[in-house]
Amino acid sequence: MAIELQHVSYTYSQDTVYEMHALEDVNLKIGDNECIGIIGHTGSGKSTLIQHMNGLVKATEGAILYNGKNIYDSDFALPSLRRRVGLVFQYPEYQLFESDVFSDVCFGPKNLGLSEDEIRARAKKALEQVGIPESLYDKSPFLLSGGQKRRVAIAGVLAMEPEILILDEPTAGLDPRGRDAILTLIRDLYEKRKITVIFVSHSMEDVARYVERLIVLDHGHVIYDDVPKAVFAHYKELEQIGLRAPQITYAIDRLQAYGLRTSQIVTTVAEAKNAVLEWFAQ
């Protein structure tokens, strides 16, 4: 179970005046049970990158291997890849179309050709996972609140029970509580269901807290691919490409002028608390 991108490049509107190199020579290996964050400036190619991972977009150059098999080979079954790699688009609530919440979540599993019972069981489980109460199942998805719609849409992909779940800016435009609920869900899927989750985010705080591996994109190039701490150690370079380290990192940085010492770079509030308590204890 692994996806490998080899020298992947992608150009939008190739051979026209609107030509746009969205990805250039991207090499990545994504394995089992990983929790990966992708960050980058707007337009750096994050969405384009993840749309390659389930074969929705065909790379202009390079190859993508799924368990060692090239997904662009003519005998490769793309539908089976899309079942294993679930992709939740940005603002997924705009893809809802059924007359009630439950049927909408059933759409994915139905396309897999499962039995009626299995479809219903999966939809129910997925809706439970995202915290949509049963009282909403019969409601029109268009009448829900923004956060609820988002969770229904995520359930629609979860119900397909993918082995890799990819989410494009899942927390964009949500209030703090909605954001925490979705991030906790992501973390749960990773820890309890042992699947690989990848999510695109604009919040350094979120990725520092939730992911184990961080991929940084800039102008279509992967410039860092490491554990968050190692990536944020380069915060000077990150600032140059319009990103930054979590705010707490800067706060601790300032405190070091007054004598605070840390063994490694601090990226979360919890770590900062420990560091400060230790400093006071001395």
Ligand X SMILES: Nc1ncnc2c1ncn2[C@@H]1O[C@H](COP(=O)(O)OP(=O)(O)O)[C@@H](O)[C@H]1O
Q: Which residues contact 190 (CB under 8 A, 6 or more apart)?
A: 33, 34, 35, 196, 197
42 binds another protein (CB under 8 A): no
Q: Which H or E run contains 82?
A: helix 78-84
Supply the minimum distance, in Å, between the C-beta of residue 100 and ligand X.
31
13 binds another protein (CB under 8 A): yes
Binding mask 183-222 for another protein (x = CB under 8 A): ----------------------------------------
Give the residue, chosen from 47, 129, 148, 171, that forms a contact with Mg ion under the rule CB under 5 A.
47
Contact call for residues 129 and 170 (beta carbons, < 8 A)? no
Q: Which does 176 bind (CB under 5 to 8 A by kind): ligand X, Mg ion, another protein, none?
A: none
What span, in angstroms and rounded, lies between the C-alpha atoms of 57 and 226?
Answer: 26
Binding footprint of Mg ion, residue count (CB under 5 A): 1
Contact call for residues 1 and 163 (beta carbons, < 8 A)? yes
Output the CA angle 29-33-36, nearest 5 degrees. 60
Question: 133: burial class by Cβ within 10 Å (0-12, 13-18, 19+)?
Answer: exposed
Enter the tokens of residue 92: 């997924």
87 binds another protein (CB under 8 A): yes
Enter the tokens of residue 235: 């915060």
Binding mask 15-54 for ligand X (x = CB under 6 A): -----x-x-----------------x-xxxxxxx------
52 binds another protein (CB under 8 A): no
Q: Which residues contact 10 (CB under 8 A, 6 or more apart)?
A: 21, 22, 23, 45, 48, 52, 57, 59, 60, 61, 220
Residue in the structure block whose two tokens are 């102008």: 219
Q: Which does 120 bind (CB under 5 to 8 A by kind): another protein, ligand X, Mg ion, none?
A: none
Q: Which does 243 bind (CB under 5 to 8 A by kind): ligand X, another protein, Mg ion, none?
A: none
Choices 154-162, 220-228, 230-238, 255-263; region in contact with another protein by CB under 8 A: 154-162
Q: Which residues contact 108 (CB under 8 A, 6 or more apart)?
A: 156, 157, 159, 160
44 binds Mg ion (CB under 5 A): no
Choices 77-85, 179-187, 209-217, 257-265; region in contact with another protein by CB under 8 A: 77-85
Supply the minimum distance, in Å, between the C-beta of residue 269 and ligand X.
27
13 binds ligand X (CB under 6 A): yes
Question: Distance between terminal CA atoms of the chain?
Answer: 48
Catalog residues that contact another protein under the rule CB under 8 A.
13, 17, 51, 54, 56-57, 79, 82-83, 86-89, 92, 94-97, 107-108, 110-112, 142, 156-157, 160
Catalog residues that contact Mg ion under the rule CB under 5 A.
47
Catalog residues that contact ligand X under the rule CB under 6 A.
12-13, 20, 22, 40, 42-48
